[in-house]
Amino acid sequence: MGHAGPASGHTFDVDTSVRAVGENRFAADVTDRWNALGGGPNGGYSLGICLRALGQVLPFPDPLAVSAHFLRPGVPGSAEVRTETIRAGRRLATGQASLIQAGKEVLRVVADFTDLTTAAGPTAVFAAAPDLPPPDEAVDLTAGGGIPGVTITDRVEYRAAQTPGWVLGKPSGLPQAEFWMRFADGRNADPLSLCFLVDAAAPVVLEIGQRSMTIALSVHVRARPVPGWLACRVATRYLIDGYHEEDFEIWDTTGKLVAQSRQLALIPTRAP
Amino acid sequence: MGHAGPASGHTFDVDTSVRAVGENRFAADVTDRWNALGGGPNGGYSLGICLRALGQVLPFPDPLAVSAHFLRPGVPGSAEVRTETIRAGRRLATGQASLIQAGKEVLRVVADFTDLTTAAGPTAVFAAAPDLPPPDEAVDLTAGGGIPGVTITDRVEYRAAQTPGWVLGKPSGLPQAEFWMRFADGRNADPLSLCFLVDAAAPVVLEIGQRSMTIALSVHVRARPVPGWLACRVATRYLIDGYHEEDFEIWDTTGKLVAQSRQLALIPTRAP
Residues of B in contact with A127 (CB under 8 A): 237-238
Quote the pLDDT of residue A3. 40
From A14-28, A30-44, A143-157, A159-173, the region with the lowest mean pLDDT: A143-157
Nearest to B92 among A123, A215, A236 (CB): A215
Taking only residues 50 to 69 of chain A, the set having a beta carbon closer than 8 angstroms to any beta carbon of chain B reads: 64-65, 67, 69
Q: Residue A271: is its pLDDT beyond 90?
A: no
- Distance to chain B for A125, nearest Cα, Å: 5
Tell me the mean pLDDT in the region A238-250: 98
The angle formed by the CA atoms of residues B262, A90 and B111, to the nearest 5 degrees, is 30
CATH of domain A6-116+131-266: 2.40.160.210
Confidence of residue A2 (pLDDT cuts 50, 70, 90): very low
Q: Is the ipTM of this complex over 0.90?
A: yes
Which of the following CATH numbers is that of domain B6-116+130-266: 3.60.15.10, 3.40.50.150, 3.40.50.1820, 2.40.160.210? 2.40.160.210
Q: Which of B226, B196, B160 is nearest to B33 (CA)?
A: B196
Q: Residue A272: is its pLDDT beyond 70?
A: no
Q: Do A64 and B120 touch (CB under 8 A)?
A: no
Q: Which of A38, A49, A48 is nearest to A73 (CA)?
A: A38
Quote the pLDDT of residue A148. 86
pLDDT tens per residue across span B120-159: 999 999 999 999 999 999 999 988 777 888 999 999 999 9
Tell me the mean pLDDT in the region B93-108: 98
Quote the pLDDT of residue B29. 98
φ/ψ of residue A64, rounded to 5? -115, -55
Quote the pLDDT of residue B128. 97
Q: Do A86 and B71 touch (CB under 8 A)?
A: yes
Q: Do A119 and B240 touch (CB under 8 A)?
A: yes
A256 Cβ under 8 Å from any chain B Cβ = yes
Question: Which DSSP state fits A50?
Answer: H
Confidence of residue B3 (pLDDT cuts 50, 70, 90): very low
The angle formed by the CA atoms of residues B108, B109 and B114, to the nearest 5 degrees, is 170
Tell me the mean pLDDT in the region A136-153: 90
Taking only residues 74 to 103 of chain B, the set having a beta carbon closer than 8 angstroms to any beta carbon of chain A reads: 86-87, 92, 94, 96
Quote the pLDDT of residue A270. 62
- Distance to chain A for B11, nearest Cα, Å: 30
Taking only residues 158 to 187 of chain B, the set having a beta carbon closer than 8 angstroms to any beta carbon of chain A reads: 174-176
